[in-house]
């Protein structure tokens, strides 16, 4: 018997589950840290002030594609994907034009919110949102088994606990968020302080596509602060992770409610999403746009040709947004999905090629703002990549820097052979010592592929997975984090294990694998938190110098506001609250050039005075690390600063490791003429 269930009735039916889920997740946070629970309560609001207006902006944009009537789940997913992607580009354009004033953006997001509400009201009245129909399979999903979603609640607790740590506290494998403090948040901080987005000759990472960082920048503008926005930036990244789970569910729901639940839970129970939620990186954003693009692609495979191309164009738009998060999304998301388009059902290969061109053109359009920006600022659309092709030499860059970049982004010598690369794959995916993929998603994906009759969709997903593996093995430096894109086809293949025709016995086995595998993943994730996460820590601990090993931050931030500081060695400038100049290791350093060109040390001191530097902060531990890895100027050493002291450079403070006593940082004052 078929029963119609209107969307509002379905929402009321799922409300108890949502309440229980939220209570369980927040209770998990409170058990570990009441401070973290308070931080979630305050900072999540700041994150939602960025995300919700973007979603409402997406409600308006959905109508552009004329996709016809859709279920609520698709309206939500597409509104989130189109809105967040478009909002990122809107911030980019405004930043390039120097329009980053807080009153302007408060008014703009308010207007977008109102427009979205009005469009939503009109869509509901015109019945563009489909009612839900409960088949026997739907009833299964809407019954007691829907509480399987509670499996994801402990993982959300861990993600929230990770996110409430200000950047720099976690994780050791990621250098305790070194990249966040060097550019993911540092560059938005610089843009906000300057009032515009411009070329940064001291930080090559400013030339990376930065859709997610644009939302961090918007958060800084709206909060009228930068250093204190680290936790809300983490939570924006966490929201992207949660939306990735929603996208997996929506994609799997095209096959059956069981498949949707399994795909969503397979994604939600991996350790990677929670791990990344403690870092204001971009991977969760890339995963969300990539998963949403895959969902649109797979929906297109089920539609008539009248609507198929519109959905493929939409998939291209979303894939382009993923590429606007990270360069690696081009070969690992956009390209594999594009190959999948060529194997879609179509009357002829000519139609498939036209579909592929439409998809690729749409992806190029939404990534092109970043390519055009780079072309205009550096002379290369993909700077600093492919520099041997484009031969760009913008300020702060040249052949030595390009060679250093290439050396620094190669696999370790022992991993450059085929066997070494395969060993790295084993070590970072099934054999990962943190089990951030874990056995559940891998086992269910294999079951979804081999324990049922395969079709064209399976072929497309296998091709996506194969191409991603090939790119990771042959064209990256084999970082574990770069393999996270495998989550997209793996989660969808896992969902395929629970097709509509699955019997009770097989479904019981699937649920057993999911439950046991999720428990396995949680044990590893919780143990990592126990060892590395303080369970919520404010930014003030860093910038006030209360974190062991970072006491110099408190000293420098306590200097008068008219000081101008040069950092030597360290490029983690985020927590300095005084005017600071720095240079990442790959860029040409004006200080190193001054040392090399000056006739003597007196000339170097004169150069410091001419540049207006009142203080020089030398991070000896970072100089040692860079010397042993990427390389560092050999002229900059302890002997140089002893000679500079003889010419008047005054040592004013020195900081050592609290346990070993090893010198970490020295602060010098430039003599006045």
This prediction has a pTM of 0.94
Residue 134 pLDDT: 43
Mean pLDDT of 533-561: 94
Mean pLDDT of 26-48: 95
Residue 130 pLDDT: 58
**Which has the closest alpha carbon to 576: 609, 542, 606, 622?**
542
The enclosing H or E element of 260 equals helix 257-268
Per-residue pLDDT tens digits for 43-66 = 999 999 999 999 999 999 998 888
Identify the weakest region by mean pLDDT among 384-393, 441-450, 527-536. Answer: 384-393
Secondary structure of residue 293 in the 3-state scheme: helix
Position 14 pLDDT exceeds 80: no
Per-residue pLDDT tens digits for 201-232 = 999 999 999 999 999 999 999 999 999 999 99
**Which has the closest alpha carbon to 166: 232, 223, 239, 238?**
232
Residue 344 pLDDT: 84
**Bridging pattern class, strands 663-669 and 579-581:** unpaired
Sign of CA dihedral 175, 176, 178, 183: positive
3-state DSSP of 443-505? HHHHHHHHCCCCCHHHHHHHHHHHHHHHHHHHHCCCCHHHHHHHHHHHHHHHHHCCCCCCCHH
What is the Cα 97 distance to its own chain's centre? 25
**Which has the closest alpha carbon to 669: 516, 576, 589, 565?**
565
| Cα within 13 Å of Cα(4), Cβ side | 3
Residue 137 pLDDT: 45
d(CA 264, CA 65): 26
Position 181 pLDDT exceeds 70: yes
**Bridging pattern class, strands 132-134 and 3-5:** antiparallel
Please list the residues that pair with 565 across neighbouring strands.
580, 615
Which regions of 499-581 does DSSP assign to beta strands (E)?
564-568, 579-581
Position 116 pLDDT exceeds 70: yes
């Amino acid at each position: 018997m078929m029963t119609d269930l209107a969307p509002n009735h379905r929402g009321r039916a799922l409300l108890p589950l949502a309440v229980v889920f939220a209570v369980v997740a927040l209770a998990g946070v409170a058990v570990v840290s009441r401070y973290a629970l308070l931080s979630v309560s305050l900072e999540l609001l700041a994150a939602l002030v960025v995300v919700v207006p973007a979603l409402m902006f997406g409600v308006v944009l959905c109508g552009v594609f004329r996709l016809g009537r859709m279920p609520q789940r698709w309206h939500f997913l597409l509104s989130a994907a189109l809105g967040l992607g478009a909002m990122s580009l809107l911030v980019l354009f405004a930043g390039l034009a120097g329009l980053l004033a807080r009153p302007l953006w408060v008014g703009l997001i308010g207007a977008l919110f109102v427009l979205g509400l009005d469009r939503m009201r009109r869509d509901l009245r015109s019945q563009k949102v489909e009612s839900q129909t409960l088949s026997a399979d739907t009833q299964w999903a809407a019954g007691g088994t829907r509480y399987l979603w509670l499996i994801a609640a402990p993982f959300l607790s861990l993600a929230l606990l990770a996110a409430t740590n200000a950047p720099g506290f976690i994780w050791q494998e990621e250098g305790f968020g070194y990249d966040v403090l060097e550019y993911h948040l540092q560059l938005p901080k610089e843009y906000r302080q300057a009032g515009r987005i411009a070329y940064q000759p001291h930080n090559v990472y400013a030339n990376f596509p930065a859709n997610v960082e644009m939302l961090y920048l918007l958060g800084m503008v709206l909060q009228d602060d930068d250093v204190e926005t680290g936790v809300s930036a983490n939570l924006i990244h966490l929201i992207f992770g949660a939306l990735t789970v929603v996208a997996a569910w929506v994609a799997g729901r095209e096959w059956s409610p069981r498949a949707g639940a399994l795909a969503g839970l397979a994604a939600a129970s991996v350790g990677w999403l929670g791990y990344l939620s403690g870092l204001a990186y971009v991977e969760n954003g890339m995963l969300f746009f990539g998963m949403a693009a895959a969902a649109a692609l797979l929906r297109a495979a089920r539609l008539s040709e009248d609507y198929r191309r519109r959905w493929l164009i939409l998939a291209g738009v979303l894939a382009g947004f993923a590429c606007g998060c990270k360069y690696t999304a081009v070969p690992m998301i956009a390209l594999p999905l594009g190959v999948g388009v060529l194997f879609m059902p179509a009357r002829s290969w000519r139609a498939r090629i036209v579909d592929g061109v439409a998809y690729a053109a749409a992806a190029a359009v939404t990534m092109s703002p970043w390519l055009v920006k780079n072309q205009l600022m550096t002379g290369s659309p993909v700077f600093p990549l492919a520099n041997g092709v484009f031969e760009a030499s913008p300020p702060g860059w040249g052949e030595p820097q390009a060679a250093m970049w290439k050396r620094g982004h190669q696999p370790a010598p022992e991993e450059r052979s085929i066997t070494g690369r395969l060993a790295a794959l084993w070590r970072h995916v099934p054999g990962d010592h943190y089990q951030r993929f874990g056995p559940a998603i891998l086992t269910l994906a294999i079951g979804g592929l081999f324990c049922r009759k395969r079709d064209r969709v399976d072929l497309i997903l296998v091709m996506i997975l194969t191409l991603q593996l090939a790119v990771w093995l042959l064209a990256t430096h084999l970082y574990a984090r770069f393999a996270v894109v495998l989550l997209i086809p793996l989660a969808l293949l896992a969902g395929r294990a629970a097709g509509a025709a699955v019997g009770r016995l097989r479904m019981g086995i699937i649920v057993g694998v999911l439950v046991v595998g999720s428990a396995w993943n949680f044990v590893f994730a919780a143990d990592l938190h126990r060892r590395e996460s303080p369970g919520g820590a404010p930014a003030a601990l860093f910038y006030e110098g209360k974190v062991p090993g970072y006491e110099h931050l408190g000293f420098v931030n306590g200097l008068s506001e008219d000081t101008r500081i040069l950092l030597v060695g360290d490029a983690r400038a985020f927590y300095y609250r005084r005017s600071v100049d720095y240079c990442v290791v790959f860029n040409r350093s004006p200080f190193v050039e001054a040392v090399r060109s000056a006739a003597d040390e007196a000339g170097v001191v004169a150069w410091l005075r001419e540049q207006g530097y009142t203080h020089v902060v030398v991070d000896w531990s970072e100089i040692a690390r860079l010397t042993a890895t990427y390389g560092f100027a050999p002229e900059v050493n302890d002997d140089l600063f002893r000679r500079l002291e003889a010419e008047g450079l005054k040592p004013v403070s020195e900081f050592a490791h609290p346990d070993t006593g090893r010198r970490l940082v020295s602060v010098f004052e430039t003599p006045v003429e």
